[in-house]
Amino acid sequence: MSTGTPTIVLVGHGMVGQRFLEALAERGLTATHRVVVLCEEPRPAYDRVQLTSYFSGRTPEDLSMTDMEFIKDHGIELYVGDPAETVDREARRVTARSGLVVDYDVLVLATGSYPFVPPVPGKDAEGCFVYRTIEDLLAIEEYAKNAQVGAVVGGGLLGLEAAGALKGLGLTSHIVEFAPRLMPVQVDEGGGAALLRTIEEMGLSVHTGVGTQEVVVGEDGAVTGMKLSDGSELATDLVVFSAGVRPRDQLARDCGLTVGERGGITVDEQCRTVNDPHVFAIGECALASDGRVYGLVAPGYEQAETAAATIAADEASFTGADLSTKLKLLGVDVASFGDAHGTAEDCLDVVYSDSRSGLYKKLVIGRDGTLLGGILVGDADAYGTLKAFTGSVPPVSPESLVLPAGAGESVQLGPSALPDDAIVCSCHNVSKGTIRGAVTDHQCTTVPEVKKCTKAGTGCGSCVKVLGQLVNAELEASGIEVDKGLCGCFGQTREELYEIVHALRITTYQDLLDRHGREEARGGDGCEVCKPAVGSIIASLAPTIGASGYVLDGEQASLQDTNDHFLANLQKNGSYSVVPRIPGGEIAPEKLIVIGEIARDFGLYTKITGGQRIDMFGARVEQLPLIWARLVDAGFESGHAYGKSLRTVKSCVGQTWCRYGVQDSVKMAIDLELRYRGLRSPHKLKSAVSGCQRECAEAQSKDFGVIATANGWNLYVGGNGGATPRHADLLAQDLSDAELVRLIDRFLMFYIRTADRLERTSTWLERIPGGLDHVRDVVVHDSLGICDELEKLMRAHVAHYRDEWAETINDPEKLARFVSFVNAPDTPDPVVAFVPERDQMKPDLPLLSIGMRPADVLEGSAQR
């Protein structure tokens, strides 16, 4: 038994464990107790909810939830890679894997859960993985480099995320789910059907109602396929098991603590274990007093708060939690709240379903009009408000709440309609009244300030949108003007700055800043937010306002980011990529030969892209003008892969070659790409033209896409095939060539005029008031009377287009910037180095350490 300063030992350092430490600190217990944390993983707590975002560019450091200053300031002894192996409850002593022995007064088990792997033959073969930790993701990423097909066992939340990750890694992906629908816990049959349609349209193969009987293993011990319960077989060389989780309660079992029949450390309402008052269990390892193991972060946080309060001798209890959840899976919004499946006696359903758009909304209503719960698939914008109304009678009819904006009697209830006791943030049980109090009583004026004051929005993040609306509404109600400016330099939005530049013919950033910037910013240098945004506005309006459209002219050059600064994309080792334009993907053999010769002569890595171009990687900055001189001489021009502008217009071969084609998609794609090349916009633009409804060019995943019909062309807008995929919406159909071009002209210029900085057309279309209907009214029906002006702006762009690289290589002053070292222009960058791989080369980069070494102890921690 410990003596002297009382000791709290926390076993496990996940999201719930970190929240427990914060709760201890808030109650002053870190000042009165020694706190020791034994963490099994080789890194401190990270955001497991956002785990899949690793595959879209977030690093393990980005996912970290551990503020090391917090750990150090509170004297917490954190041991990573050193899990607890035994607990002696009689002596109150924990022994870690390293041999570290810690006596405790209070032991808190936050060991979480482990992935369930069905006991099927071959489950341990090479190429089989689980999807739970960053290390799992790193292993999957490495193995996928030599794989072509991946299969995920499990169609729940993590299973769909895993399948999306495999698809993002370039694998053909399958999902195998034993239940008759995807996400059976969260959605009902109708919601599952809507989700299934949308996911299959993204190119993933879904197999529901079947189980995995065997993982087929080749002679080399690696996965080659899967046998399913319906007798079918999948050919796959990578398998991810995501068939649910089980509580990690073995440590508790070994030391004689009571566990549930189906697992989970049994605890009371204070989160104490039922047979040892000195031991607590929280999070996914705990079987709560209501007989449930909670697998969501919000209940875990509430348990962490309860345990910390109990240790501090405060009154607290955990008797159950809200299981509502809002997710974005493969870019599809999925949400469920309250009694989503309608288990209450004598309840009614209100359902809206649009299979074409992948929308499904269901509200469960009591006989007295009380909102009991609901399911939202495809559009979950109303989740925060609806969840907060759960348990009460909404002020409008339920039918009006499920209809899309602008449809019939639809009503869009804002957060202002919520009562003050409505819970806005279920992760931390923060009510609307508490958020309002943070603004009125604690003088918080921004969302980050309210987050810090109340903890609202710091959990799963699903309430952040509602939080922002409440903060702005409260500020406006208090007579405080809400700052909607672009940045600290400008009080105007990007749309407002566009109108100022257009109307006043302002041709320089400095002039705009000095005349219309915030008073304290005038005469300054601006910031990294507004400079590229204003540079883009001036470039897009250049022919109309009399400015130079060339981004490296004078002041314009100083406004550009690294990529535009050198008219090339910076790569991870400091080299650059060269991407010439290949309109429509059509290229003559002579030009193919030129690209091959240049790549050979300069030792560049070559790759054919999904946008039907050829990328050349590995050029040093001083080589760029030499490469482009040869490309321009051969008739190539900049592909603008580096700019916020049109990238490509992809095409199939169309009616010229294909027996299914009904229009000449190649010619149309070339015409569109040459028309809109160099068009500067708030974000990059991608397009495609398909020659028939078979959609081989994938036009419906583009910012503007065109599909041929027997009567002309259908125009789709607002699509996005990136990290948050969105199918484009049909704007107009059966258009002639001239009608099609005219509508695209209008659409693009209206987007450029009204979008926020770095806002894709997909996001803009969902944000702009009125959505697609409003855009159609403006672009097709000219409801604002601005279409003549929009067309004039596009005509000016087309007439004044100049190839940036052709101008650059003929200007010695511009060429002077293309050096690695200004004071040694002939010296190449020594960091840019390469090693051979698959008959080409790749960057030679040193391996970087990720996270902390096992058994590392933070400064100030006890060494043992």
3-state secondary structure of 801: coil
Asked whether 164 and 152 are in contact (CB, 8 A), the reply is no
Those residues with Cβ within 8 angstroms of residue 519's Cβ, 6 or more apart along the chain or in another chain: none
Q: In terms of CATH architecture, what is 322-413?
A: 2-Layer Sandwich (3.30)
Q: What is the pTM of this model?
A: 0.56
Q: What is the tens place of the pLDDT at every residue in 349-364? A: 888 887 767 788 889 9
Determine how β-strand 576-578 pairs with β-strand 569-570.
Answer: antiparallel
CB 387 within 8 A of CB 337: yes
Q: Nearest to residue 668, comparing CAs of 635, 690, 642?
A: 690
Is residue 762 within 8 Å of 720, Cβ to Cβ? Answer: yes
Question: In the Cβ-directed half-sphere of 138, how many Cα atoms lie within 13 Å?
Answer: 8
For position 429, what pLDDT does the model report? 77
Low-confidence ranges of the chain (pLDDT < 70): 1-3, 56-57, 328-331, 356, 404-416, 459-462, 561-562, 722-724, 821-827, 829, 831, 845-864
List the one residue out of 49, 633, 616, 577 whose CA is nearest residue 295: 49
Q: State pLDDT tens for residues 674-710.
A: 999 999 999 999 999 999 988 999 999 999 999 999 9
Per-residue pLDDT, 76: 96
Q: Give me the amino acid identity at 321.
A: A
Print the SS3 string covering 711-780: CEEEEEECCECCCCCECCEEEEEEECHHHHHHHHHHHHHHHHHHCCCCCCHHHHHHHCCCHHHHHHHHHC
Give the number of other CB atoms < 10 A from CB of residue 497: 23
**828 DSSP assignment:** P
- Residue 82: what pLDDT? 95
Q: Could you read off the pLDDT of 289-331 as tens digits, one per residue?
A: 989 998 888 899 999 999 999 999 998 899 887 777 777 666 6
Question: What DSSP designation does 862 have?
Answer: P
Q: Which amino acid is at 283?
A: G
Reported CATH class of domain 117-243? alpha beta
Q: Which residue has the tokens 């058994």?
A: 855
Q: What whole-number distance in Å separates Cα of residue 864 and Cα of residue 746?
A: 70
Report the pLDDT value the prediction gives residue 332, as an integer from 0 to 100.
Answer: 76
Q: Do 7-114+247-311 and 117-243 agree at the fold level? A: yes
pLDDT number for residue 384: 76
Q: What is the pLDDT of residue 538?
A: 92
Q: What does the domain layout of the chain look like in residue ranges?
A: 7-114+247-311, 117-243, 322-413, 415-480, 494-519+527-560, 647-801
Task: Extract the tokens encoding 308.
Answer: 């910390």
Measured distance CA(12)–CA(33) in Å, rounded: 18
pLDDT value at residue 711:
92
Just give the CATH number of 7-114+247-311: 3.50.50.60
Calpha distance 466→450 (Å, rounded): 12
Cβ(733)–Cβ(715) below 8 Å: yes
Give the count of beta carbons closer than 10 Å to the beta carbon of residue 572: 7
* Residue 413 pLDDT: 60
User: What pLDDT is recorded for position 2?
Assistant: 46
pLDDT value of position 562: 65
Contact 578, 637 (CB under 8 A): no
Closest C-alpha among 124, 88, 125 to residue 9: 88
Instruction: Give the three-class secondary structure for 96.
Output: strand
Per CATH, the homologous superfamily of domain 647-801 is Sulfite Reductase Hemoprotein, domain 1 (3.30.413.10)
Residues 6+ apart with CB under 8 A from 368: 393
Q: To the nearest whole number, what is the mean pLDDT of the chain?
A: 86
pLDDT at 864: 26
Partnered with residue 404 across adjacent β-strands are none
Tell whether domain 415-480 is in CATH 3.90.650.10: no
**CA dihedral defined by 199, 205, 207, 211, rounded to 10 degrees?**
-120
Quote the pLDDT of residue 306. Answer: 95
Find, among 211, 198, 55, the residue nearest to 138 by Cα.
55
